[in-house]
């Protein structure tokens, strides 16, 4: 029994690759395994399982690389240069199929992480304690984050039609279950509920306590909930959650003179500066050549994706004094003496030792959520919160009103969160057409909101093993 138990815990820590697997996401563990209650006999066992759950987020087709890359490549911020290593070409061109390995990987990795979180959440063998509550709270937050990614890529936005098909909600392990898709509203309700549970279970840190940015904290969960509410179009609750973080978390926004050093530092944070939550890649636990930094680095690596420079691109939006410009140097591709100059991405510079982490939630975004959620009823608050960020980037202050103020806040989001995977999802929730700059030529430049490719297909591997979901494929992929 001890060997079986050890193997289960080891399996929870190991990051499996499921892209070529023909099994359903519900069959990731064999039904003959011992139950989580038997496996988690101590708090130390639960901690091992929790670390395995966090490791799942680092999967190459989740936050390890795919999600942050496609969130900009499918929009208008970063395009695939020529020549390239052919990574993510289909997302640059919008030519994927049901069998696409990266899309399958998003689906299977997301549900693998949910399974791991469920094993912790549903454990009843350990008596309640502050430690167990903390671990379960973190698991609830991770589960909500995973559903948030899945429902936004495999279903239309909440503001489009809450009754439309979302993704299957799985909260317990059942090897015989072949679920259909829940509605979008049901998925968002589950996420809000999970984040409420996370916030209640996790301890409130003292004013001087260090907070590890590679783990969910009480205020990281609340920050994620603010983002969920904003995506739902619930501005009242989005602003309330954002202000809870701004007022009570003790976190600070990185100042203009610290922007470059902040992004150059590959280690996780404990000083409550800027990073509410990030997916860590240290010198031991990393994806090596599949790490996020390699896809952007021009220093002897792939350097496949570069910043859009032409009209409607990202680069022209920055004012000359903007501190964020230092993250996008002009240089020749891959240190070539003859290649043309491009605007490179240097947000993820660490390619040796501790790799650059994937930022998932930053305090700067929370201010921008508060600004957007203040509209249309409270323009003074909107200006206060958005200009808190412009003032800490040496950027031009915003002084607009009405519809233009809203557009300026969205533009500030584009600049602040660039190359972090948010741009495409913002265009989705706002139900906007994608009007790409000429940098993307000769490939697709206009992708209307109504285009069926604006959401991914349910992967063929899932359709093959799950008869219930087979008739629920997204329109256009049948």
For residue 301, what pLDDT is reported?
75
CA atoms in the 13 A half-sphere facing the CB of 58: 25
Does residue 47 come out as left (phi exceeding 0), alpha (psi in the -120 to 50 range) or beta?
alpha
Task: Give every CB contact of residue 182 below 8 A, 6+ residues apart in sequence.
Answer: 165, 166, 167, 168, 169, 190
- State mean pLDDT over 246-270: 96
- Give the separation between CA 327 and CA 395, rounded to whole angstroms: 14
Residue 478: pLDDT band (50, 70, 90) is confident
Residue 2: pLDDT band (50, 70, 90) is very low
- Three-state DSSP class for residue 429: helix
Contact criterion met (CB below 8 Å) for 84 and 69: no
For residue 28, what pLDDT is reported?
47
Beta-strand runs (E) in 292-329: 305-307
Determine whether 71 is exposed, middle or buried from the number of CB atoms within 10 Å of its CB (0-12, 13-18, 19+): buried
Contact criterion met (CB below 8 Å) for 233 and 158: yes
For residue 33, what pLDDT is reported?
60
Q: Which of 120-134, 248-262, 295-309 has the lowest average pLDDT?
A: 295-309
- State mean pLDDT over 54-75: 98
Nearest alpha carbon to residue 429 among 188, 186, 199, 77: 188
Instruction: Give the residues across from 342 on adjacent strands.
Output: 331
Residue 300 pLDDT greater than 70, yes or no? no
Pairing mode, strands 275-279 and 358-362 = antiparallel
Q: Which of 93-97, 205-209, 320-324, 431-435 has the lowest average pLDDT?
A: 205-209
Nearest alpha carbon to residue 393 among 364, 424, 358: 364
| Alpha-carbon torsion angle 459, 14, 224, 361, nearest 10 | -110
Residue 20 pLDDT greater than 50, yes or no? no
Determine whether 103 is exposed, middle or buried from the number of CB atoms within 10 Å of its CB (0-12, 13-18, 19+): buried
- State mean pLDDT over 259-273: 95
Nearest alpha carbon to residue 238 among 384, 348, 382: 382
Tokens of 67: 């999600």
Residue that is written with structure tokens 């510079």 in the block? 349
pLDDT digits (tens, 9 = 90+) for 317-326: 999 999 999 9
Nearest alpha carbon to residue 477 among 461, 456, 463: 456
Residue 32 pLDDT greater than 70, yes or no? no
Contact criterion met (CB below 8 Å) for 74 and 94: yes
For residue 37, what pLDDT is reported?
67
Residue 354 pLDDT greater than 80, yes or no? yes
- Give the separation between CA 344 and CA 330, rounded to whole angstroms: 6
- Give the separation between CA 170 and CA 174, rounded to whole angstroms: 9
For residue 308, what pLDDT is reported?
97
pLDDT more than 70, % of the chain = 91
- State mean pLDDT over 78-98: 95
CB atoms within 10 A of CB 20: 10
CB atoms within 10 A of CB 64: 25
pLDDT digits (tens, 9 = 90+) for 273-286: 999 999 999 888 88
Determine whether 475 is exposed, middle or buried from the number of CB atoms within 10 Å of its CB (0-12, 13-18, 19+): exposed
Residue that is written with structure tokens 């206009």 in the block? 446
Concatenate the DSSP letters of all residues of 131-176 into one string.
HHHHHHHHHHHHHHHHHHHHHHHHS--TTT-TTSB------S--TT
Domains in the chain, CATH or no CATH each = 2-17+35-204+220-300+419-470 (1.25.40.390)
Q: What is the DSSP letter of 356?
A: P
Q: Which of 129-133, 159-163, 191-195, 289-293 has the lowest average pLDDT?
A: 289-293
- Three-state DSSP class for residue 217: coil
pLDDT digits (tens, 9 = 90+) for 41-60: 899 999 999 999 999 999 99
Q: What is the DSSP letter of 273?
A: B
Contact criterion met (CB below 8 Å) for 286 and 279: no
Pairing mode, strands 78-80 and 305-307 = antiparallel
Mean pLDDT of all residues in the chain? 91
CB atoms within 10 A of CB 114: 28
pLDDT digits (tens, 9 = 90+) for 217-237: 999 999 999 999 999 999 999
Contact criterion met (CB below 8 Å) for 264 and 220: no
Angle, alpha carbons 241-243-247 (nearest 5°): 130
Contact criterion met (CB below 8 Å) for 409 and 371: yes
Angle, alpha carbons 313-316-321 (nearest 5°): 145
Residue 332 pLDDT greater than 50, yes or no? yes
Q: Which of 30-34, 163-167, 298-302, 360-364 has the lowest average pLDDT?
A: 30-34
């Amino acid at each position: 029994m001890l060997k079986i138990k050890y193997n289960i815990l080891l399996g929870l820590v190991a990051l499996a690759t499921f892209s070529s697997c023909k099994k359903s996401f519900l069959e990731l563990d064999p039904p003959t395994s011992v139950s989580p209650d038997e496996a988690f006999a101590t708090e130390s066992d639960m901690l091992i399982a929790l670390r395995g759950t966090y490791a799942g987020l680092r999967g190459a087709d989740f936050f390890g690389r795919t999600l942050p890359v496609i969130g900009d490549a499918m929009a208008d911020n970063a395009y695939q240069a020529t020549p390239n290593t052919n990574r993510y070409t289909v997302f640059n061109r919008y030519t994927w199929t049901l069998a696409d390995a990266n899309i399958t990987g998003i689906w299977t990795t997301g549900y693998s992480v949910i399974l791991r979180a469920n094993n912790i959440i549903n454990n009843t063998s350990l008596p309640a304690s502050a430690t167990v509550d903390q671990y379960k709270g973190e698991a609830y937050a991770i589960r909500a984050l995973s559903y948030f990614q899945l429902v936004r890529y495999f279903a239309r936005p909440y503001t489009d039609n809450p009754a439309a098909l979302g993704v299957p909600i799985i909260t317990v392990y059942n090897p015989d279950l072949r679920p259909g898709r829940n509605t979008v509203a049901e998925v968002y309700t589950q996420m809000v509920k999970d984040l409420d549970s996370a916030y209640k279970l996790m301890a409130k840190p003292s004013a001087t306590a260090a907070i590890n940015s590679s783990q969910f904290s009480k205020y990281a969960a609340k920050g994620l909930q603010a983002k969920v509410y904003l995506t739902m179009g619930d501005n009242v609750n989005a602003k309330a959650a954002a202000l809870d973080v701004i007022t009570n978390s003790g976190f600070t926004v990185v100042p203009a003179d610290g922007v470059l050093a902040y992004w150059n530092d590959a280690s996780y944070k404990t000083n409550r500066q800027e990073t509410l939550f990030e997916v860590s890649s240290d010198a031991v636990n990393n994806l090596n050549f599949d790490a996020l930094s390699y896809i952007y680095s021009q220093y002897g690596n792939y350097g496949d994706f570069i910043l859009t420079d032409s009209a409607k691109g990202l680069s022209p939006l920055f004012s000359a004094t903007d501190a964020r410009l230092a993250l996008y140097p002009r240089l020749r591709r891959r240190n070539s003496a003859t290649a043309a100059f491009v605007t490179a991405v240097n947000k993820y510079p660490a390619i040796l030792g501790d790799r650059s982490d994937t930022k998932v939630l930053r305090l700067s975004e929370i201010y921008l959520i508060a600004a957007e959620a203040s509209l249309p009823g409270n323009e003074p608050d909107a200006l206060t919160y958005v200009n808190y960020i412009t003032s800490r980037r040496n950027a031009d202050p915003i002084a607009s009103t009405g519809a233009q103020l809203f557009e300026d806040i969205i533009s500030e989001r584009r600049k602040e969160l660039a190359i972090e995977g948010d741009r495409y999802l913002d265009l989705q929730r706002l139900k906007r057409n994608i009007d790409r700059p000429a940098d993307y030529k000769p490939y697709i430049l206009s992708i209307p909101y109504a285009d069926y490719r604006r959401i991914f297909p349910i992967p063929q591997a899932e359709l093959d093993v799950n008869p219930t979901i087979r008739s629920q494929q997204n329109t256009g992929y049948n």
